[in-house]
Amino acid sequence: MTSEHAAHTLPSRRIPSLPGRARLAAVLGQRTAATIGAVLITLIVLASVMAPWLSPYDPIAQDLRNALKPPSLEHLFGTDNFGRDIFTRVLYAAQIDLRIAFLCVFFPWVLGTLLGCIAGYSGGFIDTVIMRTVDTFTAFPFLVMAIGVIAVLGPGVTSMYIALTLAGWSMYARIVRAEVLVAKRSEYVLAARALGFSHTRIMLRHLLPNVITPTIIFAMTDIVLVILSTTTLAFLGLGLPPPTPTWGTMIAEGKSFIFTAWWMVTLPGLAIVLVGISLSLFGDGVADWLRERE
Amino acid sequence: MSVIALLEVRNLSTDIPTRRGVLHAVEDVSFSILPGECLGIVGESGSGKSVTCRSILGLLAPPVRIRGQALFDGADLIAIGEAERRRIRGHDIAMIVQDAVSALNPVLRVGGQIAEGLLEHGIVRSRRAAQKRAVDLMRKVGIPSPEDRVSDYPHQFSGGMCQRVVIATALACAPRLLIADEPTTALDVTIQDQILKLLVQLRRELDLAVILVTHDMGVVAETCQRVAVMYAGQIVETATPTELFENPRHPYSAALLDCVPTLDGPHPERLRPIEGLPPDLVSPPAGCRFHPRCAMATDDCRAGPVPLTEIGPGRSTRCLRHADMIPDAGDAGNLAETRA
């Protein structure tokens, strides 16, 4: 009751100290944009998971008699040149695309954060080696690097993970290193050293939790870029081979029919736009929240 | 002194390379501390007190160069490897730093921070046992209702309570020596007093030797058995607090005491500050480092380095004219002769 009262009297940016979940709810309540983003993402994830129940069609089986049908009540998004229901394929593709996007942010985040932390904490030669590597990796344009790696490894999900990790980790390393350089001069690190703690313990338990927030904020904005990049790679034929549905490959397939069957390109494209918008709305909200907590 | 010293520092020098040249932050510092003793190190900012402590514990990273010896339990802390030194740090020698609030990690619960040393040094194996010890330690350092507060975060504690938590983390592994680097500077006066009383009480209960670094003469008088006065990276005088207060035998100690306001005794018109600035330690003055600011300085003082001279049991000074500082100058010569 007191917390409700506090929520009304405090300026809108101040969050009363509530237990974790209630506080998240309070934060979301104040941020319409973030809430819309969160709701949309939840709906998209639910829809993709529930795809077998939401749609009677098979995403892969061909039905050539019903090829290139425009959107109707029977086929909400129409059908493609093989007669497959595009709505169904968009739903199934969401499973794959969202997982790839999430992991393609997660792996670079882990790798970059660890290496940046080691570089900043160790200093000297190790720092130089890691940071010059970072410079080298940052020098390549993101997509060019990713395409290059996939070209070497061959298309597929695994090479996509490797490619985007290699292309994306360097920014995280830079952010974390800068934070560690500041944090390692703090009294609590000195105190931890005076207590005889090992470097690993100081880095992982004492420094990392204090420097991680900016990387999460960056990851929140990075995920939109990554989802666009992964669909771009899929569009270029460097993602999963057909007939597995992904948004990028669906657009690539629809490209030849753009003047006769606009829905083949447009509707999967809109799915990407929708995911991009929801993620950036949600990501901005979370980033703001984390920044305020700092 | 038949008792074997717990820590014996011999000719410790610490050089810090800077852009302007090598900074001689600590030069030729020697002292020892007995088990259970409280040694005060006083001096103004930049006199090398903290650097001395950190050099002993090996907390200064290269390119800082440390020479000399720091014998603890027969091991030379300066010479042994980092791994060995780490086993001693926190376990046998603990240090608490000046600003308790920032010495605690903001994102970890205090109980975890107190217990962490026990786990790291393998004194306690299970997390639960460590947590129980943390509660006991919090009670020992006088934190009310420790059972409830053990899972609080540092920002939920006041400055004085934070310092108590820091003391608890330092004492977790039952060290034999506690280095307290200005433990009360960041606190207000009433809390300072509480923390000092706590340190004195813990020292007695746990038979703990304490090196108390401070710039507060009052703190020294209250808590220490012996004092070392530092100036410009050197120890200029060692004495008991009583000896030091009644008859300082180095002009710097005397000047430092003149800066302390007193309630009883003669009231000078105003406090006498020490004229001038401490020397630049990249190129310290030749001879006695205090001579540019010293009213008693003679040509001899400028000529060459002044050694630390023993002038009594446990008493030494780095002044050529220490004999002239004995009050009632008539006896001075006699006293000096009888001692010699």
**Per-residue pLDDT tens digits for A23-44:** 666 665 667 788 888 999 999 9
Residues 91-130 of A with CB under 8 A from B: 123
Alpha-carbon distance of A31 to A10, in angstroms, equals 15
Contact by Cβ (8 Å): A181, A127: no
Query: Mean pLDDT per 10-residue run, chain B (340 residues)?
Result: 78 90 89 90 87 90 87 87 88 88 90 89 86 90 89 90 91 90 84 88 90 86 89 90 87 83 65 78 84 82 84 86 71 41
Q: What is the pLDDT of residues B105-121, one digit of tens each?
A: 998 999 999 998 888 88
Alpha-carbon distance of B247 to A37, in angstroms, equals 76
The model's pTM = 0.79
B120, closest residue in chain A (CA to CA): A197
Cα-Cα-Cα-Cα dihedral sign, residues A149, A150, A154, A159: positive
Contact by Cβ (8 Å): A122, A200: no
pLDDT for the residue numbered A220: 85
Alpha-carbon distance of B72 to A148, in angstroms, equals 59
Helix (H) and strand (E) counts for chain B? 13, 12
Contact by Cβ (8 Å): B11, B68: yes
B95 touching A (Cβ < 8 Å)? yes
B23 or A242: whose pLDDT is higher?
Answer: B23
Buried b (16+ CB within 10 A) or exposed e, B34-66: bebbbbbbbbeebbbbbbbbbbbbbbbeeebeb
Alpha-carbon distance of B157 to B146, in angstroms, equals 12
pLDDT for the residue numbered B255: 84
| Contact list, A192 vs chain B (CB under 8 Å) | 105
Cα-Cα-Cα-Cα dihedral sign, residues A17, A22, A23, A25: negative
Helix (H) and strand (E) counts for chain A? 13, 0
User: Is A196 within 8 Å of B108 when comparing Cβ atoms?
Assistant: no
Alpha-carbon distance of A144 to A224, in angstroms, equals 18
Cβ burial of A178 (10 Å; 0-12, 13-18, 19+) is middle
Alpha-carbon distance of A176 to A186, in angstroms, equals 15
Q: Which of A123, A188, A197 sits opposite B120 (nearest CB)?
A: A197
Alpha-carbon distance of B167 to B138, in angstroms, equals 9
Alpha-carbon distance of A260 to B151, in angstroms, equals 66
Interhelix angle A157-183/A124-139, rounded to 10 degrees, is: 130
pLDDT for the residue numbered B340: 36
User: Is A191 within 8 Å of B94 when comparing Cβ atoms?
Assistant: no
Alpha-carbon distance of B131 to A144, in angstroms, equals 52
User: Is A196 within 8 Å of B106 when comparing Cβ atoms?
Assistant: no
User: Is A196 within 8 Å of B121 when comparing Cβ atoms?
Assistant: yes
B12 or A22: whose pLDDT is higher?
Answer: B12
Contact by Cβ (8 Å): A193, B117: no
The H or E element spanning position A186 is none
Please spell the DSSP secondary structure of B174-222, one letter per residue. Answer: --SEEEEESTTTTS-HHHHHHHHHHHHHHHHHHT-EEEEEES-HHHHHH
The H or E element spanning position A184 is none
At B145, list the tokens.
């209702």
At B184, list the tokens.
């009360």
User: Is B95 within 8 Å of A198 when comparing Cβ atoms?
Assistant: no
Alpha-carbon distance of A105 to A142, in angstroms, equals 13
Q: Which of B57, B87, B99 sits opposite A194 (nearest CB)?
A: B57
User: Is A187 within 8 Å of B94 when comparing Cβ atoms?
Assistant: no
Which long-range contacts does B123-128 make (Cβ < 8 Å, 24+ apart)?
A: B123/B91, B123/B172, B123/B173
Average pLDDT (A100-129) is: 94
**Out of A206-215, A237-246, B132-141, least confident range:** A237-246
The interface pTM score, or ipTM, of the predicted complex is 0.81
Which residue in B72, B88, B93, B101 sits closest to B4, CA to CA? B72
Cβ burial of B125 (10 Å; 0-12, 13-18, 19+) is exposed
C-beta atoms surrounding A216 within 10 Å: 14
Q: Is residue A8 over pLDDT 50?
A: no
A5 touching B (Cβ < 8 Å)? no
B54, closest residue in chain A (CA to CA): A194
Q: Rg for chain B (alpha carbons), in Å?
A: 21
User: Is A187 within 8 Å of B103 when comparing Cβ atoms?
Assistant: yes
pLDDT for the residue numbered B126: 86
Q: What is the DSSP letter of B22?
A: E
CA distance B112 to chain A (A): 11
Average pLDDT value for chain A: 86
Query: Which site among A188, A198, A213 would you substitute to test the B interface, given the most B Cβ atoms closer than 10 Å to its Cβ?
Result: A188
Residues 174-213 of B with CB under 8 A from A: none
Name every residue whose Cβ is closer than 8 Å to that of residue A4 and which is 6 or more positions away in sequence. Answer: none
Q: Is residue A74 over pLDDT 80?
A: yes
pLDDT for the residue numbered B314: 81
pLDDT for the residue numbered B189: 84
CA distance A169 to chain B (A): 25
Confidence band of A17 (pLDDT split at 50, 70, 90): low
Read off φ and ψ for residue B126, nearest 5 degrees.
-95, 150
Compute the C-alpha angle B260/B263/B264, nearest 5°.
110
pLDDT for the residue numbered B291: 84
Cα-Cα-Cα-Cα dihedral sign, residues A142, A144, A148, A154: positive
